[in-house]
Amino acid sequence: MNSQKPPYHELETRMKEAEELFHALRTQQVDAIVGERHIMVVRLKQAEENLKSSRNQLRALAAYLLSAREDERAVIARELHDEFGQALTSLHLGLSWISRKLAPGQRRLQEKIRSLSAITTSLIRSVKNIANELRPGVLDELGLVKTLRSEAREFEGHTGISCRFKTNTARTKFDRSAAVAIFRIVQAALTNVARHAHGSRALITLMKKKNGLILMVKDNGKGISSKLIHRHDSLGITGMRERALALGGTFTLDGSKSKGTILTVQIPLSRVIVGAAR
Amino acid sequence: MKARKRERRRNAKPGGGTYVFRLFVAGNESNSSQARGNLARLCEEHIKGRYKIDVVDVLKDAAAAYKNGVLVTPTLILLKPLPKVTVLGNLNDTGQVLAALRLAGDER
């Protein structure tokens, strides 16, 4: 018979040893592997911890940069609105005053003033738009829900893509920085819909549920590819993800040709709603 | 006969003899340091005064590792009392380590 075959208990011992070895490796309890010629020191745990720590530092830096940028935008928007807006309005009023004082015969001067007045009006509108882009006044004045509703309407007007907004948070009071983050995520998501989705419909939902606040932006376009989702230079997606993570939330993006693209952000209620239990 | 003898050894209650351990480590790497500390603590708590620990640093003495069939560090070998037992890892799981070394319940 087979005299080379080790007895059963030896096989059993070897199996047990192999299992133990596998367990030690898997749980990162090994710090050196003894080879035939070399001893290889492994520092998996340490490397993983270092990586985790670097990731956390980067995340904190990203959150800080995003918040600093929002603050800066708010300051520039206010300056633009207050300083330029005010000065241009005065200029406009002054031109009207001069126009009224001119004699009826001074037609050429009248026309010049009318043209300058039109330029001033256009400048006032531009300044207002730029300030609004930088920091939608309506977000501070009317709150997140009305801003998102207005954003959906404007998006539909600009792009011709039908855009609906649904929510059950109409009476909810949102934390200011969380509201800004959610608004920016929606803005970026809609930009992507307009640029890449090639769809005809978009839907924004903001729902308060037991497990958190859930924001979804869906479209019926061609669907984002998984390759694009994980590309490092997809800055729009990275920005949205960082904003969600900075609020202690999660960010997922799914795409398929039949379903379009679905963006989902889930944020703990304690981080977004004023007065919610922590 | 052999099988019965082996079974008897496996289930043998720890007696009053000395426990001899050989612990293979890799310098002061994290798991190796933990294993050293854990083994010393377990011995002090369970078999105080009845143990001997021989620590082998494989970075200095690789031959000892080959000779003992050690594949990774930390590896603990209980040499005495027989049967020989090998435990891998940092020995953080006290319950499992005590059971493997047949020390569970031996508080003398």
Interface test with A, best of B60, B88, B94 (most A CBs within 10 A): B88
What is the per-residue pLDDT for A167?
95
Q: At B84, list the tokens.
A: 């020989």
Calpha distance A9→A194 (Å, rounded): 68
What is the per-residue pLDDT for B52?
92
Residue B81 DSSP one-character state: S
Tell me the chain A residues in contact with residue B59 when contact means C-beta distances shorter than 8 Å: 32, 39, 41
Q: Tell me if B59 and A25 make a contact (CB, 8 A cut-off).
A: no
Calpha distance A182→B9 (Å, rounded): 67
Residues of chain B whose beta carbon is less than 8 angstroms from a beta carbon of chain A are 3, 6, 26-27, 29-32, 58-59, 62, 65-66, 70-74, 86-90, 92
What is the per-residue pLDDT for A160?
93
Q: Taking chain A (278 residues) in consecutive chunks of 10 residues, what is each chunk's mean pLDDT? A: 57 76 82 78 74 84 84 84 86 91 87 92 89 78 90 92 94 89 93 91 94 94 84 80 91 90 95 69
pTM of the model: 0.56
Q: Tell me if A43 and B30 make a contact (CB, 8 A cut-off).
A: yes
> Could you say which of A23, A34, A46 has the minimum Cβ distance to residue B30?
A46
Calpha distance A175→A163 (Å, rounded): 25
Q: Tell me if B89 and A41 make a contact (CB, 8 A cut-off).
A: no
What are the C-alpha distances in Å from A160 to residues A14, A152, A156?
A: 70, 11, 5
- The H or E element containing residue B25 is strand B19-25
Pick from A265, A213, A268: nearest CA to A244: A265
**Domain positions in chain B:** 17-100
What is the per-residue pLDDT for A231?
73
Query: Interface pTM (ipTM) of the complex?
Result: 0.71
Contact between A245 and A61 (Cβ < 8 Å): no
Tell me the chain B residues in contact with residue A29 when contact means C-beta distances shorter than 8 Å: 31, 74, 88-90, 92
| Domain over B17-100 is classified CATH 3.40.30.10 | yes
Q: How confident is the model at residue B107 (pLDDT cuts 50, 70, 90)?
A: very low
Q: How confident is the model at residue B63 (pLDDT cuts 50, 70, 90)?
A: confident
Stronger pLDDT, A130 or B5, i.e. the higher one: A130
Topology of the domain covering A138-272: Heat Shock Protein 90 (3.30.565)
Q: What are phi and psi of A221, to 5 degrees?
A: -85, -155
Calpha distance A124→A129 (Å, rounded): 9
Interface test with A, best of B4, B72, B75, B86 (most A CBs within 10 A): B72
> Tokens 């998996």 — which residue?
A44
**Domain positions in chain A:** 8-42, 68-134, 138-272
Q: How confident is the model at residue B47 (pLDDT cuts 50, 70, 90)?
A: confident
Tell me the chain B residues in contact with residue A33 when contact means C-beta distances shorter than 8 Å: 71-72
Calpha distance B42→B95 (Å, rounded): 10
What is the per-residue pLDDT for A22?
82
- DSSP result, A136-186: -HHHHHT-HHHHHHHHHHHHHHHH--EEEEEES-TT--B-HHHHHHHHHHH
Mean pLDDT of B68-73: 86
Q: Tell me if A30 and B59 make a contact (CB, 8 A cut-off).
A: no
% of chain B beyond a pLDDT of 70: 81
Three-state DSSP state, B52: strand
Beta strands in chain A (DSSP E): 32-34, 39-41, 162-167, 201-209, 212-219, 250-256, 260-267
Q: Tell me if A9 and B71 make a contact (CB, 8 A cut-off).
A: no
What is the per-residue pLDDT for A148?
94
Pick from B85, B83, B67: nearest CA to B75: B85
Pick from B37, B27, B21, B38: nearest CA to B73: B27
What are the C-alpha distances in Å from A127 to residues A88, A151, A206?
A: 9, 19, 30
Tell me the chain A residues in contact with residue B30 when contact means C-beta distances shorter than 8 Å: 31, 43, 45-46
